[in-house]
Structure 1
């Protein structure tokens, strides 16, 4: 399956994808921020997007990172870790942004038979603040690792990806030993931010392109845990901002996807029920009929 998230990243930033990385070993690349984000317009901002990759950034310059329930104010040197499961918004606040970052997929680390489950590491878990202020001495150590990665990426050494994999792991463990930066309190636009992040997470579940896929977030509690907010708070915010409850917004999106799958695929209804997160056909049929007044089979038969 094409990784549209990575394709979008390269298209949005006008960067070339690296050659020679076999599909089975995953994806990795490294960038110098000032060379990639050298535009005077708003394209320097890293917007909410359907990322399917992990990212480690060494940031230099005044900026901020916005999460669902917190804003991190970055004044100088910082190390930021990003996971596909926790959406964030990075916003530079002046034109003096330098540093480096690397992106990689889970398969890139798995291919080295490390047995490493990225989402089980503390630094990538929901509820964490994975932005770390670093000292001048730490900055030199981190820059050295990134520079080594950049140099190795451009080499023709046969085992360069094994070296790069080890350097990624070194950065991860380096970050896990640091103390997180203090998050600012809730701001006036916190509700809008939480709402935007919820909707981004919701849309990230779709489209369903294979009968082997299954929705990983299915309930209001699932989304609240991912956003690290209380489920009652999430519900109140969404009700205030959108006029709908968390459950209603989820149901609306699930039924919309169900209609697409029923009309545009040849999957059987049991397969559709499974991918949409229902335990059995009866549960899906009851849900769909309640939402549309049609049974799944009768809706599929409508011309």
Structure 2
């Protein structure tokens, strides 16, 4: 037999340790019997019935191949083998307690902070409310927010610089998993003095595509959706201005010196109500995008990130 085949055969004959060693609950029960001198009292201390405790001890004895406990009307006592196994069990349980303490410390470190990367629209108009609700639920968690476009939010997640992200756009960025948490309508707006506000007929998609606009930069969810929607209408004209934030876009359009823009309806509610901006209807063009929570593929949100994700779904 070759050396490789012999090694494979030997590996196949090895029984996993978990099948050969009693589970932690059984070892804790044995320690309770040794401490209390009675299987019944040990069962009550462990929060189980006496028949269940007896069954667990018998199962452990079969697994180890030795008798561990002698039962009598006066109580239960350990056999010589039981005394030896109890000493070993105590070491295993102490090691498990150290393991649990370490895991709690890790969870405590994880739960003490939350790093969020979000697109500008979500960061400015949705996240503040969610974070206030999270603060009420987890007052000890320090939250840091990294705002940028959707592409930058995805990059921060992939680089390990954020625990949870929020993006807009047509799909989930590569390397990430996610879920849709809402929808957002993009609308065309202009200053009240702009000629489009005096039109008697709706703007066409082709006219919108051919007009230099004030727009967010490439990589933003707004730009991604707009590029895709106008691709069949001649493509988007070169922007008059290309700005890195929704606030800057609004300021430029409200100034009346710039062109119209396509922007999230969430971002201009106040400006529309105050007539600082006017919505321009566009015939046959529906600009709706998904809002998504995202995280690195294969790593579901945990701790504060999981709680924040739950709050967005509730909202």
Shorter-normalised TM range:
under 0.3
Greater CA radius of gyration, 1 or 2? Answer: 2
Could you tell me the TM-score, scaled by structure 1's length? 0.21
Could you tell me the TM-score, scaled by structure 2's length? 0.20
Q: Which has the higher strand share?
A: 2
